[in-house]
Chain A
Amino acid sequence: MRPSMSRGLAADHGRGASRTHNNAGRGGRNNAGRGGRGGGAFRAQNIAGRGLGVRGRGRGGGRGGASGRGGMRGGNKAVIIPHRHEGVFIAKSKDDALVTKSMVPGDSVYNEKRISVQNEDGAKVEYRVWNPFRSKLGAAIQEGIDNIWIAPGARVLYLGAASGTSVSHVSDIVGPTGVVYAVEFSQRSGRDLVNMAKKRANVIPIIEDARHPSKYRMLVGMVDVIFSDVAQPDQARILALNAAYFLKTGGHFVLSIKANCIDSTLPCRQSIR
């Protein structure tokens, strides 16, 4: 798919009112605790996208119940089976959970639960639970998205990396042979991102405005997939700019849209059209 196709998708760009406000209120996405991550419609383009409502529990972390080490721990009960998407797994135990194979065993990025499983050859493998209430990509997979295009060995440009919670799972999926270029503008959450990236050699943190890809052109090579999660009125334009620079011919992109951020005055359905 050509990058230029993205111009056709989604969104009349925000009208005056909401846009001004986005800029004024804490510089767009500057707020550290991004409340209300859920609650928007999620849609992956270039597939017959299914709008799916993700009703977030905010940053509750986990789905209630066992705190810390309880629950999923003690992996003998959990059985890991591969997901339809390569690099993603499902842990079957009392209740199923989406997991990814941890690049850095023994380390939780955002206090998510970890499951370690013994292989047939006796080696221990650790998986990290992917909370769909905190990650739009995770939610999309759980709700059965057709293709995420992110696979082991892929080179991914991740726009809007925030603190790097989702990015850590993407980095798990692409594994040591892939690369994740994680772009985030806010310095506050960029701090957490850099810290996360220190432990993962395949994540390249870039604290820069995604609107200006030419500023970080030296840091990014050609990529296979662009994942864009920037809640801005002109996010389609941002994606197109980045695609023109970095997306290889025939590459793909996944775009998450929160209808409210495009034009808060319109009803959700309308602004997605």
Chain B
Amino acid sequence: MTLYLLYETSSGYSLFQAGGLDEIGQNNEAVRNSVSDLNRFGKVVQLTAFLPFESALDALNQINSVSEGIMTDELRNFLELNLPKVKEGKKANNDFVHEILRGVRLHFERFIKDLKPGDLEKAQLGLGHSYSRAKVKFNVNRVDNMVIQAIFLLDTLDKDVNSFAMRVREWYSWHFPELAKIVNDNYLYAKLAKFIDDKSKLSEDKLPELTDLLGDEDKAKEVVEAAKASMGQDLSPIDLINVQQFAQRVMDLSEYRKKLHEYLITKMNDIAPNLASLIGEMVGARLISHAGSLTNLAKCPSSTLQILGAEKALFRALKTRGNTPKYGLIFHSSFIGRASARNKGRMARYLANKCSIASRIDCFSENGTTVFGEKLREQVEERLDFYDKGVAPRKNIDVMKDAIERAENKDTDMETEEAPAVPSAKKSKKKKSKSDAAENGDHMVEDKPAVNGGASEDAKSEKKKKKDKRKLEQEQADENTNRTNGAHAEEDGLSKKKKKKSKDQDGEVLQDASDMKKKKKKSKGELEAVHCCFFMVWCQGGGFSGGPPPCTAALRKLSGAVASEEI
């Protein structure tokens, strides 16, 4: 029996033949001894073929495939050319082979005659550089990095703007100390400081402008009065100019902060729409930046997500065997603040679960809708109600079914966007979901208002871009959806009630489509179940043991496979 060994180097593929295995004996120790001696090793292992890479670029392609575990055409040809035709031979993969490969690695330079000493290092050097450069260049978390940088900058800016504004107050208070008491807002104060300039020049005729700035006539009058009776000292013009310049800087900075905040919101709606609509852009962005990337966040178990940001407390608790913290960053989401003290921990756990799901959907699904995030948010609201008043929440499976259906419907809308009827349908749906939320006694704190408007618009434009790419898939999805719409309408009275309005409007578009396609009996529900199962298994199972970063492409491929099986 002969054993063939493929050995990949930076300069090319090589194939070795190991014969006379019995002579060495299968004892690892014996193998090891013979491996270190070239004379003996050379007798046992011979070079059969060597295929040098044509160019540096070629080498880079090869190493990329090798590290991903993909067989390239070159490698296949090389193997087919040089391996004797055998029926499925015994594949040996054990310590023994490993030992021999170590030997090959040790003596490789002497096997290939044309290779001068140092050549291999040169090849390794060149390839190592290009491989590493490529790794740095094509970072999979490119978009996440923008969010991470933005949120860091935002935090820094908050701090800086605040301390600068305090400086303006301090400085201008030498001239006009009473103003600091009247105007609390930093930005407004800087504006006023710039406008008033010299307090002795402030008179009644500037009142309208002051009112404009302050938005309050009483306050404006108060300011004028205070200026008259001020106990501040007079500043020389050059000092005042400097104060003004600084005030202008502070204003610019805080305006820039606002712009950055908007940028962050659009970015978040791009990369993590569901997470953003569930927990708010800022908290979502913080979670992402703390985990390192969206993929990392999606890989976190929800228990980790729950205490993300409370590491110090966690490790202290672990060391002293005390109580572990209940929440970290997600505390800032306003849900937990609304829960009563004894339910805070439960709420944090529940919210973390939902965030975990949302981040996974965002990370691994290819069409960005906010439907799931909104539904999850509703669920959290319901849970809050449950703890508060004992109102029983809806069943999880119903909510998810509803969400899936909605997501599908949205896709259909996309497909028929040219039809004039659709946008209005969409709008009404939006309104409906808003009013839904209102019914639940929803006081959206700080983050919600932006979500609905901005998110949907963004999602729309983004989808438009992606549309062509996904057309094929969507057509399949459409068939399925249309069928389901019919089926569900009959079966599912409950959800039908909820969605009746929107469906009726969509219906016109959908019905003619569904008339045409009634060939298949399989329902969309099953397909969806397959998707979900696969998704959950994949998320929870060994998928994350640290292999190559799981990407949406893989998921797409698989879901594509599922879809095509059905057809």
Contacts and interface: CB of A to CB of B under 8 A. Distances in A.
A21 B98 contact: no
Contacts of A204: 121, 124-125, 128-129
Interface stretch (A42-50, A134-142, A213-221): A213-221
Interface stretch (B259-267, B311-319, B338-346, B522-530): B311-319
Contact of A20 (B10, B35, B66, B301): B301
Contacts of A214: 67
A224 to B, nearest CB: 11
Contact of B546 (A205, A209, A245, A250): A209
Interface residues of B, number: 45
B136 A187 contact: yes
Contacts of B121: 179, 204, 221
B133 interface: yes
B291 interface: yes
Interface string A232-260: 00000000000011101110000000000
A194 B301 CA distance: 34
A73 interface: no
A218 B296 contact: no
Interface in A193-211: 193-194, 197-198, 201, 204-209, 211
Contact of A27 (B102, B105, B124, B292): B292
B50 interface: no
Interface in B294-332: 296, 299-301, 304, 308, 311, 314-315, 318-319
A26 to B, nearest CB: 4
Interface string A8-48: 00000000011011011111001000000000000000000
B509 to A, nearest CB: 45
B217 interface: no
Contacts of B125: 201, 204
Most chain B beta-carbon neighbours within 10 Å: one of A209, A217, A250? A217
B124 A190 contact: no
B139 interface: yes
A247 to B, nearest CB: 9
A24 B108 contact: no
Contacts of B546: 209, 211-212
Nearest to B121: A179
A163 B320 CA distance: 35
A190 B138 CA distance: 13
B32 A208 contact: no
Contact of B124 (A25, A219, A244): A219
Interface in B240-293: 290-293
A219 B135 contact: no
Interface string A48-87: 0000000000000000000000000000000000000000
B136 A265 contact: no
A212 B296 CA distance: 19
A207 B131 contact: yes
A125 interface: no
B382 interface: no
A169 B73 CA distance: 41
B381 interface: no
A21 B309 CA distance: 11
B49 interface: no
B292 A30 contact: yes
Contact of A221 (B63, B120, B301): B120
A21 B311 contact: yes
Contacts of B301: 20
Q: For chain B, what secondary structure do more than half of its interface residues adopt (helix, strand, loop), or is it mixed?
A: helix
B129 A198 contact: yes
B291 A187 contact: no
B132 A190 contact: yes
B36 A207 contact: no
A250 B32 CA distance: 11
Interface in B48-87: 62-63, 66-67
B314 A218 contact: no
B135 A215 contact: no
B253 to A, nearest CB: 25
A222 interface: yes
Given A25-B311, A26-B290, A218-B63, A265 B128 contact: no
B373 to A, nearest CB: 22
Contact of A24 (B32, B132, B133, B304): B304
A208 B124 contact: no
A6 interface: no
B98 A206 contact: no
A170 to B, nearest CB: 16
Given A24-B304, A187-B136, A197-B128, 15 more contacts: A18-B318, A20-B304, A27-B296, A30-B292, A179-B124, A190-B136, A194-B132, A204-B124, A205-B128, A215-B67, A218-B9, A222-B102, A244-B98, A246-B105, A249-B36
22 contacts: A18-B318, A20-B304, A21-B304, A21-B315, A24-B291, A24-B300, A25-B311, A26-B291, A187-B135, A187-B136, A194-B129, A204-B124, A208-B135, A218-B9, A218-B66, A219-B63, A219-B128, A248-B106, A249-B35, A249-B36, A249-B102, A264-B318
Nearest 8 A/B pairs, CB to CB? A207-B135, A215-B67, A204-B128, A207-B132, A26-B292, A27-B292, A24-B304, A265-B318
